[in-house]
Amino acid sequence: MKYETLYDDTPIPVLGLGTWRMGGGMEADRSQDEKYTRAIRAAIEMGYTHIDTAEMYGGGHTEEVIGRVIKDIDREQLFITTKVWSSNLRYRSVLKAMESSLRHLGTDYVDLYLIHWPNPSIPLEDTFKALNELVASGKTRRVGVSHFDLKDLQRAQSLSATPIATNQVRYSLLSREPARNGVLKYCQDNNIILTAYSPLKEGVLSIRKLKELAQKYKASPAQIALSWLLSKPKVISIPMSTNIDHLKSNLDAVELELSADDIETLNRLI
Ligand SMILES: NC(=O)c1ccc[n+]([C@@H]2O[C@H](COP(=O)([O-])OP(=O)(O)OC[C@H]3O[C@@H](n4cnc5c(N)ncnc54)[C@H](OP(=O)(O)O)[C@@H]3O)[C@@H](O)[C@H]2O)c1
């Protein structure tokens, strides 16, 4: 595994495990719990330590599935990120949401707690009053945001008692918005990790150039797509997979180093 460094010098794995849809969409679906439990356990056994989830995933059930797997694992070996949903951003709702996430996960703290989406109808001051308390009480070690544009990110920084650890945004070969709207550069310049979600979706894997490079590096298109993302300073990614071979191959992508020329070719691709 390779690591990026958080503002407090804690290492964070450059590749984490996404869990969206493991245990349902926005509501719980318990019918495939065994499959998801197996995938999460296998991921941890092969070396994943960062798990990304959210209270909204499976209506809380995804956190429960993760909780079942991690109960036998030394908590300090894991880095758990969860998120508070956008309708729960009032002071009391944030505190309540955290209690429910901790109960579902079966842990007494998370490593990183994110605002899942901004909600303009709830004052951000209210949300950060709660988030600052949660950091002070140790229920989360750090806070961060997701889907924040530059202006909202700077406001979050001004309201947070501790530095914003990450902004989690869609970023992939086919979704370059963070590179265009200044968010990527701002994160890199201000020691904020950019967590790239959905790194393999939207047809990324069918890009022809990826297939060519995959042959050249004796790798898979997914590995090239991940390696391109991870070549960027301050960028980490959290692909989701329930397939053991994919989990392993995504993890191995961390060791793949593309040449500067090939990175530049991919930069210019779209
Ligand atoms: N902050 C937010 O609002 C937000 C939004 C979306 C996602 N996220 C987070 O980011 C995570 C990742 O995003 P995502 O789940 O949307 O998309 P993703 O990780 O880009 O794509 C997941 C899909 O890719 C397939 N896949 C994974 N590895 C593969 C490989 N090596 N080769 C071929 N196919 C592969 C998976 O199928 P198999 O299971 O068959 O491998 C799955 O269908 C989520 O799970 C979630 O934790 C956050």
Q: Render pLDDT for 133-184 as a digit per residue (tens, 0 to 9).
A: 999 999 999 999 999 999 999 999 999 999 999 999 999 999 999 999 999 9
Burial class (CB in 10 A: 0-12, 13-18, 19+), 36: buried
Q: Which of 36, 48, 57, 113 is catalytic?
A: 57
CB 250 within 8 A of CB 226: yes
Strand locations in the chain (E): 3-5, 11-13, 17-18, 50-52, 79-84, 112-115, 143-146, 164-170, 193-197, 235-237
Protein residues with CB under 6 Å of any ligand 1 atom:
18-20, 52, 116, 146, 168, 197-201, 205, 220, 222, 238-243, 246, 249-250
Centre of ligand 1 from the C-alpha of residue 19, in Å = 8
Mean pLDDT of 68-93: 97
Provide the residue type at 261 as one letter. Answer: D
CA-based end-to-end distance of the chain = 29
Q: What does the mean pLDDT of the chain come to?
A: 97
Q: Token match 């303009």: residue?
A: 120
Q: Is 57 a catalytic residue?
A: yes
The proportion of the chain whose per-residue pLDDT surpasses 90, expressed as a percent, equals 99
Please state the φ and ψ torsions of residue 121, each to the nearest 5 degrees: -85, 0
Q: Which two tokens stand for residue 182?
A: 């200044």
Q: What's residue 270's pLDDT?
A: 75
Q: How far is CA 169 from the centre of its chain?
A: 9
